[in-house]
Structure 1
Amino acid sequence: MSDPERLAALIGRIGRGRHGSRDLTRAEAADALRALFAPEADPLQLGAFLIAQRMKGETAEELAGFVDAARATIEGCGTVRHPEAVDLPCYAGKRRAPPLHLLAALRAARSDGIPVVIHAPEAIAGRLSAVAALRALGIDPAGSLAEADAMLRTRGIALLSLDRFCPPLARLLGLRPRLGVRSFANTVARLLNPLGCGGQLNGFFHAPYGARMAAANRLLGQPRALLFMGAEGEPELYADRQKLLLWLRGEQPEQPLPCPDAGCPPYPRAAATPDALRHRLQQLHDGAAPDAREAAVLARMARAFALAAGVGGWG
């Protein structure tokens, strides 16, 4: 059976509505995405598959299969492991407050000796991406996984652009404006962990993704992961209203962790310009005193990095 024929059959299975659709196995999900990554893939089938999955909802098995397919396109993926490092996927960007998780990552690497791998898209419409924010601080993305590996070993921090290390998945992410809705590509990117870090900090926006991503991480063999509803969908803890903080270690069920209100002003509601967010990040990076909310977030993120790295606890 040809790829288009197999895809048509799989689309038929997942696209039969709430009560008629059937989930794919991990192998079927990997095979489907592999075929859709191909340059000759039918754009109509690609759109149909993405929308059908959006309507049905991805299972942990399907997410693991999609990650398998995406990792298979990344040169060098799986050849290096960094059990002591923390993976920090940043796929939402910021528009209301500076990306304090990035400042916390730099502090974890430089002051606490915790290696951190940050990966993100080059740009996010209307938001400040991690790549753009870190470029402003003098950190450019590595050109390959091998270069990122060397960067991590020598500097303690590595930055990767999804557009460079996994172009097929970046193309799927770029379809959001045309599709009108997000697709599973966003969640898959968050689960990639391209340098095999032993720890992971993973933020998400919608509560149902917590348990789903935890289950997918178990299937993928992720040793340690802290998953939480992050500020604007980024891997940044709130100071005022943190919800759904899940700790995953090995094969054990995920464990909810407490994160009480720090008694700070609420997270900003008004949008700011990317330039304003970049400027505030630069100020904090250069030694400006954080306000009460920023200080509370940075303290919580320091604990989160230590926990994910396996060198600290939460209580």
Structure 2
Amino acid sequence: MLTKWLKEVGRGKRGARDLNYEEAKDAAELILGGKATPAQIGAFFIAERIKMETVEELEAFVHVCRAYSHRTTVHKGMDCAGPYDGRKKSFYATFATAFVLGAAGLPVTLHGTGSLPPKWGITLQDILKEMDIEIDSVTRERFIETARETGVLYVSAEEWCPPLRELRSIRVELGMRTVLNTAEKLIDFAGSPYLLFGVYHNTVFERMAKLSEKLGYERSLIVQGVEGSEDLFIERPTRTYSVQNGEAVQQIIDPDAYGLETALPEIEWTAALQKETIEAVLQGGGHLAFANQVLLNAAVRLHLAGKADSVEQGVYMSKALLDEGEPWKLYSRWKNSLQTIKSV
């Protein structure tokens, strides 16, 4: 029964204790396996939120989420793990960047769900709908085949990990962040050796660095990015942690160092405007700030994965690809594949 563990984590500020890995794994199994009541699950989530999850607890929840998920070996590349609660005030640079990386020969996995608390922002799925891609109609096999053809995989997380769908109503009722907000981003649906992980607060850098190491990624970049996402800022420096071979190094990535720093326009974002801006950038146009943001993010990711010897080289590579129109061609193929072939 989940109440056994709830009594441990929910004893209040002084009495609560952290669960070890095996205890947390049992709690995660009870929650994701449908063996606990909604009241118990909600109470556990709140207690963990107050206590703050440890690396061991997060690791346990990630492993159980993975056990309940469909995972594929379609490609080995970079997993871009941004918040599933979406964006309200910023450009989805990671989406456009995925096609620059794909054109450079670096496979990418993107994943998400319909909007969630606490932010309730625009999600990747909202943007896909604007592209006339009906998420619920495209089969998992079609997403995989499209990834095989283009190097860009999109995962509808609640389809690939059904317990997330079952737990949605509890998360919506709570209206706050839970342990799942972290765990779902680390399911690693394609077994990626490289991880790009967005965080809101620099206080979690060390914890997330340890977690990414425990989960076996070859290289990770933990980014205190735009709205807690994996996207680097273009109007100011971004604080990051680079993790490799058990060593975590803090890095400040300054767009001005690469001649890319640009002031952002004030925009009221909608899913339709996100799509329009993504397509403009991929065609070599759009506002300079968003074009430069894609260049910077692509360059840093190419360097992280060893596709570029330096961020500077990554910028040149990405600009050349955009000038040649390769990311736009790849995006068009990807979109057309998912628009035209749907499940019956």
Please tell me the TM-score bracket, short chain as reference.
Answer: 0.7 to 0.9
Task: Tell me whether 18-27 or 98-107 shows the greater mean CA deviation.
Answer: 18-27
Structure 1: 5+ residue runs without aligned partners?
Answer: none
1:82 deviation in Å?
A: 4.2
Q: Which moved more, 1:276-285 or 1:196-205?
A: 276-285
Cα distance between partner residues in 1 of 2:150 and 2:212 = 27
* Partner residue in 2 for 1:93: 86
Which residue does 1:198 correspond to in 2? 193
SS of residue matched to 2:193: strand
CA RMSD, 1 decimal: 2.4
Structure 1 length-normalised TM: 0.86
- Residue in 1 that maps onto 2:251: 257
Q: Is the CA contact 2:220–2:242 (under 8 Å) kept in the aligned structure 1?
A: yes
Instruction: Indicate conservation of the 8 Å contact 2:74/2:148, yes or no.
Output: no
Kept in 2: contact 1:200–1:308 (CA 8 A):
no
2:139 alignment partner in structure 1? 143
Is residue 91–residue 290 contact of structure 2 (8 Å, CA) maintained in 1? no
Cα separation, 1, equivalents of 2:237 and 2:20: 34
* 1:292 to 2:284 alignment: no
What residue is the counterpart of 1:222 in the other structure?
Answer: 217
Counterpart of 1:80? 73
Percent of aligned pairs sharing the same letter: 26
- 1:30 deviates by 1.5
Matched, 1:273 2:267: no
Q: Matches of 2:74 and 2:216 in 1, distance apart?
A: 13
Deviation at 1:188, TM superposition (A): 0.5
Q: Given the superposition, is the C-alpha separation of residues 40 and 59 from structure 1 closer, same or farther in structure 2, using an over 3 Å criterion?
A: closer
TM-score (norm 2): 0.80
Aligned twin of 1:47: 42
| One-letter amino acid of the counterpart of residue 228, structure 1 | V
1:112 matched residue in structure 2: 104
Matched-pair contact (CA < 8 Å) for 2:155–2:189: no
Cα offset, 1:291, TM superposition: 2.5
Amino acid across the alignment from 1:119: H
Cα offset, 1:92, TM superposition? 3.4
CA contact (8 A) 1:114 1:156 kept: yes
Aligned to 1:134: 128
Q: 1:307 aligns with which of 303, 309, 324?
A: 303
Deviation per CA, 1:28-67, whole angstroms, max 9, x where unpaired? 2121111112334211110111000000001111111000
Q: For 2:217 and 2:265, locate their aligned partners in 1 and report how far apart those are by CA, in whole Å.
A: 31
CA contact (8 A) 2:90 2:227 kept: no
Number of residue equivalences = 302
In structure 1, what residue type is equivalent to 2:269?
A
- Cα distance between partner residues in 1 of 2:56 and 2:120: 33
Structure 2 spans left out of the alignment, 5+ residues: 313-344
